[in-house]
């Protein structure tokens, strides 16, 4: 089952705007490797629908979710060109801030029936994991926003005299915007030859002034981008050296270690376009590009996007902080964890932490847990989930292997006898000798030392350790 809604549509001489929202139901049981389509909608007398599918690309070891718009109209060889800007969204039900948004611009030859969009919009696991926020009652909500010029006979007509105007934010297209106000805003923006953001997007999309080329990605995921070296040097000393230094690099420049979508967003930033940040994976990829080329303001934008303020924000922040070694972000994440430790340990995302992120947590002194047993129980759940992700049986042997670097930081000696007799004794992770020596060290701390494989700290977390 599915339902759809057109929330706003307005046709003008300059361009047409439309916002179309589609709810796909029974999403987890839909057929794989084939396109699924929403009901159709029309813009500039052309028929479209949202297209989506789940599949596993050859270069990936997990499934991805592709999101597109599909031209469904009748194909006529004489049909002219249309200039389009498209924004695709997967709506986050928990937090609008976490809605994944990706956009592109295209000159469409309407004599060709086609799909336009993103083969890897996001990982399928993130779509169907309820705690991430995109799925609710086995349904997800997709949205497309399109601005399109009237059909023109050729590309030159699209580029002159003025580029396409589009305002992607909700201030132009929402339920409270009257048709008259929308017309006034559009007319004003046309008279002023569009905003700087629109002009930047136009220059990037049209290739006007481009004098360098990049081949980004590798194998089937390789894409070519053209840009202005001067625009890139404006935001990056690396690009300045690359194109204006003594050892200038010639085009095309190979960039095999960067995801094409992330590189394009970096180009959008360099051109002053409106920037949309979405999923954790997207921000991680973009930060890698910004760090590689020393685009400091883009690094700051990525950090602001993942900066944690509550429990739902802390997971992306922890992963990014540990992966890139960002002490300020890590401090902010640990502060939230310390304030909300009970909710953090019970949160479903805890079991999805990377091993490095979990190691960072158990190494932290300032976690004010009710007892170390509470932390250990959460660590056991993580180890079991880690085994399942790897397709191996979760038993004491495999779980101990998963916790090889984690276990030495569990403060068993801060537990009392009753707490230690629970999961630490019964879970099977500790050897008989380790359990006996730990118990003696807890009962008679002045007479017995713990085994060398066990943390020697006795003070509970959140207190200064001697």
Single out the residue of 202, 193, 269 nearest to residue 231, CA to CA.
269
Radius of gyration of the chain (CA): 27
Structure token digits, residue 110: 């309407």
Statement to judge: residues 240 and 130 lie in one domain:
no
Structure token digits, residue 401: 């292997």
Q: Which of 257, 276, 306 is the last residue of a domain?
A: 306
**Residue 271, CA distances (Å) to 196, 213, 264, 266, 296 in order:** 9, 15, 11, 9, 15
Of the pLDDT bands very low, low, confident and very high (cuts 50, 70, 90), residue 163 is very low
Q: Is residue 315 part of a domain?
A: no
Residue 410 CA to residue 362 CA, distance in Å, equals 7
DSSP for residue 151 = P
Of the pLDDT bands very low, low, confident and very high (cuts 50, 70, 90), residue 191 is very low
Single out the residue of 301, 305, 265, 304 nearest to residue 285, CA to CA.
265
Statement to judge: residues 18 and 144 lie in one domain:
yes
> Does 349 score more than 80 pLDDT?
yes
**Residue 138, CA distances (Å) to 22, 98, 135, 208, 295 in order:** 14, 19, 6, 45, 40
Residue 148 phi/psi, 5-degree rounding, is -140, 145
Q: Is residue 159 part of a domain?
A: no
Mean pLDDT of 292-320: 91
Statement to judge: residues 139 and 260 lie in one domain:
no
> Does 207 score more than 70 pLDDT?
yes
Q: Which of 278, 306, 334 is the last residue of a domain?
A: 306
Q: Is residue 221 part of a domain?
A: yes
- Estimate the crossing angle of helix 296-306 against helix 314-324, to 10 degrees: 140
Q: Which of 109, 124, 153 is the last residue of a domain?
A: 153
Structure token digits, residue 35: 């396109």
Statement to judge: residues 148 and 63 lie in one domain:
yes
pLDDT of residue 171: 38
Residue 139 phi/psi, 5-degree rounding, is -140, 150
Q: Is residue 52 part of a domain?
A: yes
Statement to judge: residues 137 and 219 lie in one domain:
no
Tell me the three state secondary structure of residue 174. Answer: coil
Q: Is residue 195 part of a domain?
A: no
> Does 466 score more than 60 pLDDT?
no
Percent of the chain having pLDDT more than 70? Answer: 82
Structure token digits, residue 107: 């000159």
Provide the residue count of the chain.
466
Neighbours of 2 (CB within 10 A): 15
Q: Please measure the distance between the N-terminal and C-terminal CA atoms of the chain and give it in whole angstroms.
A: 62
Residue 382 CA to residue 395 CA, distance in Å, equals 13
Domain extent, residue 435, equals 369-466
Contact partners, residue 139, CB within 8 Å, separation at least 6? 23, 24, 25, 26, 27
What DSSP string runs through 341-355? HHHHHHSGGGGG--H
| 263 and 215 Cβ atoms separated by less than 8 Å | no
Each residue's pLDDT tens digit, 400-444: 999 999 999 999 999 998 999 998 999 999 999 988 999 999 888
Statement to judge: residues 139 and 232 lie in one domain:
no
Residue 56 CA to residue 65 CA, distance in Å, equals 9
> Number of structural domains, the chain?
3
Each residue's pLDDT tens digit, 71-110: 876 554 555 667 778 899 999 988 877 899 988 877 666 5
HSE-up of 200 (CA within 13 Å, CB side)? 18
25: enclosing H helix or E strand: strand 16-25
Mean pLDDT of 229-247: 93
Angle at 9 between CA 6 and CA 13, to 5 degrees: 155
Residue 445 CA to residue 428 CA, distance in Å, equals 24
Q: Is residue 89 part of a domain?
A: yes
> Does 257 score more than 90 pLDDT?
yes
CATH number of the CATH domain containing 61: 2.60.210.10
Structure token digits, residue 202: 């136009």
- Estimate the crossing angle of helix 280-292 against helix 314-324, to 10 degrees: 30
Statement to judge: residues 297 and 385 lie in one domain:
no
Contact partners, residue 272, CB within 8 Å, separation at least 6? 196, 197, 199, 200
Structure token digits, residue 434: 């380790």
Q: Is residue 341 part of a domain?
A: no
Structure token digits, residue 93: 């039900």
**pTM for the model:** 0.59
Single out the residue of 273, 243, 274, 461 nearest to residue 373, CA to CA.
461
Each residue's pLDDT tens digit, 366-379: 888 888 999 999 99
């Amino acid at each position: 089952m599915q339902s759809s809604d057109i929330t706003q549509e307005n046709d003008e001489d300059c361009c047409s705007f439309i916002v179309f929202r589609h709810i796909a139901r029974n999403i987890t049981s839909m057929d794989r490797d084939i396109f699924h389509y929403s009901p159709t909608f029309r813009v500039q007398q052309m028929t479209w629908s949202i297209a989506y599918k789940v599949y596993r690309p050859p270069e990936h070891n997990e499934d991805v979710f592709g999101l597109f718009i599909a031209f469904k109209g009748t194909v006529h060889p004489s049909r002219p060109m249309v200039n389009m800007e498209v924004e695709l969204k997967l709506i986050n039900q928990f937090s609008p801030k976490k809605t994944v948004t990706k956009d592109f611009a295209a000159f469409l030859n309407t004599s060709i029936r086609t799909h336009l969009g993103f083969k890897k919009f996001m990982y399928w696991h993130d779509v169907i994991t309820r705690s991430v926020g995109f799925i609710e009652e086995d349904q997800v909500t997709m949205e497309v926003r399109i601005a399109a010029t009237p059909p023109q006979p050729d590309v030159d007509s699209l580029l002159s005299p003025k580029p396409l105007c589009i305002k992607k934010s909700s201030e132009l297209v929402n339920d409270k915007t009257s048709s008259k106000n929308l017309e006034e805003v559009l007319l004003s923006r046309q008279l002023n030859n569009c905003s700087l953001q629109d002009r930047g997007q136009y220059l990037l999309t049209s290739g006007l002034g481009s004098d360098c080329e990049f081949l980004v990605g590798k194998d089937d995921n390789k894409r070519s981008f053209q840009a202005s070296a001067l625009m890139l040097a404006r935001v990056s000393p690396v690009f300045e050296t690359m194109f204006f230094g003594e050892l200038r690099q010639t085009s095309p420049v190979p960039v095999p270690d960067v995801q094409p979508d992330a590189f394009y967003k970096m180009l959008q930033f360099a051109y002053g376009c409106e920037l949309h940040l979405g999923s954790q994976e997207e921000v991680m990829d973009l930060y890698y590009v910004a760090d590689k080329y020393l685009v400091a303001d883009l690094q700051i934008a990525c950090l602001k996007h993942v900066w944690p303020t509550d429990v739902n924000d802390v997971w992306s922040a922890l992963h990014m902080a540990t992966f890139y070694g960002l002490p300020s972000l890590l401090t902010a994440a640990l502060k939230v964890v310390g304030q909300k430790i009970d909710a953090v340990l019970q949160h479903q995302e805890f079991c999805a932490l990377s091993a490095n992120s979990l190691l960072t947590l158990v190494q932290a002194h300032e976690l004010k847990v009710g007892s170390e047993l509470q932390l250990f129980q959460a660590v056991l759940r993580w180890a079991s989930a880690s085994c399942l992700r790897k397709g191996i049986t979760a038993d004491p042997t495999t779980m101990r292997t998963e916790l090889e670097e984690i276990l030495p930081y569990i403060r068993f000696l801060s537990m009392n006898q009753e707490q230690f007799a629970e999961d630490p004794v019964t879970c099977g992770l500790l050897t008989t000798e380790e359990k006996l020596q730990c118990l003696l060290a807890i009962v008679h701390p002045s007479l017995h030392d713990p085994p060398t494989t066990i943390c020697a700290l006795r003070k509970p977390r959140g207190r200064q350790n001697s």
